Amino acid sequence: MRRVLVTGGTRGIGAAVARAFEAEGAKVVVSSRSSGLRGDVSLDAERIVARAAKSLGGLDVLVCCAGVADPKLWNLAPDAVTPELWDLAQKTDLWGTFACARAASKRMGRGGAIVTVASIPALVGDSDGLVYAVAKGGVVALTKMLAVKLAPKIRVNCVAFGSIETGWTDWLSPRQKRKYAAAIPLGRFGRPEEAAEAALFLAKNAWTTGQTLVLDGGETLA
């Protein structure tokens, strides 16, 4: 766990993940479209991973936090879904995760861990986030497939988040925020630091692979 790449690692959950690994003494490279190691995971995965591995002197852990953050996808009615909007989430959240994982696996010569990111609407459904949830459902399936394909050398696990207090909450109306909070038995949104602890566990635990860890304050009671 000494050399870590966090995609989407300059803000929100990704930034908290990067800080958590650094606190454990890891060397961390973060990537995003606008800062850190710049690049779009849907287009530049091989280059991003190669540059990170070169900078770190190898790669032990990949955490795939990069994803689409667009309010029009979250509040999109089924009749408003277009092929372009559908592909926007699929390319970044699903293809980008796969492409980065594939590139990382080729550079984990001593073995390693890959952590992907999904969301509870992909597991139980929701009234919002249709296109986003479908892409995240693909990430859950991808995690299981890669866990089998890459075992025993590389472990692959997923963390499915509930309502974590990051920039997406700005898209919600006061009514939506009240509705979301009321559905959480622990009575509040999660914090990015709590999300990071889950990613850290999946990267560290040597007998966990192919699993989807749900972190949602009890919302799904899964």
Q: Which whole-number Å values give the CA distances from 121 to 166, 183, 185, 216, in the listed order?
A: 17, 13, 17, 11
Q: Which residue has the tokens 């606008």?
A: 34
Name the catalytic one among 21, 95, 98, 132. Answer: 132
Distant-in-sequence, close-in-space partners of 86: CB < 8 Å, separation ≥ 6: 131, 134
- Separation between Cα atoms, residue 118 and residue 77, nearest integer Å: 21
Q: Where are the extended beta strands (E) located within the chain?
A: 3-7, 27-32, 37-38, 61-64, 112-119, 154-161, 212-215
Eight-class DSSP state of 27: E
- Is 215 strand, coil or helix? strand
Partners of 169 in beta bridges: none
Q: Which whole-number Å values give the CA distances from 32 to 39, 49, 147, in the listed order?
A: 6, 12, 25
Whether residue 180 lies in the annotated active site = no
Catalytic site residues? 132
